[in-house]
Amino acid sequence: MTGYVLIGSAAARTANGQFDELGRPPMTQETTQPGVGEGSMAVPLVYEHLASYG
């Protein structure tokens, strides 16, 4: 796998219908790549932390 693993709302924008059968947008920690999740949990938390610095 190369490139970026997208999560949450970013995954929804680029998933090409991947989440359509769920009938809902992906949740915050859901990714565009099956089996990739543990590391993705850190990504939004890091962004949130960095955003707190303004």
Q: Could you tell me which of 9, 10, 5 has the C-alpha nearest to residue 37?
A: 5
Does residue 38 lie within any of the structural domains? yes
CA gap 35, 51 in Å, rounded: 28
Encode 1-54 in three state secondary structure: CCCCCCEHHHHHHHCCCCCHHHCCCCCCCCECCCCCCCHHHHHHHHHHHHHCCC
Q: For the chain, what is the domain count?
A: 1
Q: Which amino acid is at 29?
A: Q
- Where residue 2 falls among pLDDT bands split at 50, 70, 90? low
| Domain, as residue range, for 24 | 8-51
Does residue 19 lie within any of the structural domains? yes
Q: What is the pLDDT of residues 5-38, one digit of tens each?
A: 777 778 777 767 777 777 777 777 777 777 776 6
Does residue 3 lie within any of the structural domains? no
Q: Could you tell me which of 48, 49, 34, 40 has the C-alpha nearest to residue 7?
A: 40
pTM: 0.48
Does residue 12 lie within any of the structural domains? yes
Does residue 1 lie within any of the structural domains? no
Does residue 16 lie within any of the structural domains? yes
Does residue 32 lie within any of the structural domains? yes
Does residue 14 lie within any of the structural domains? yes
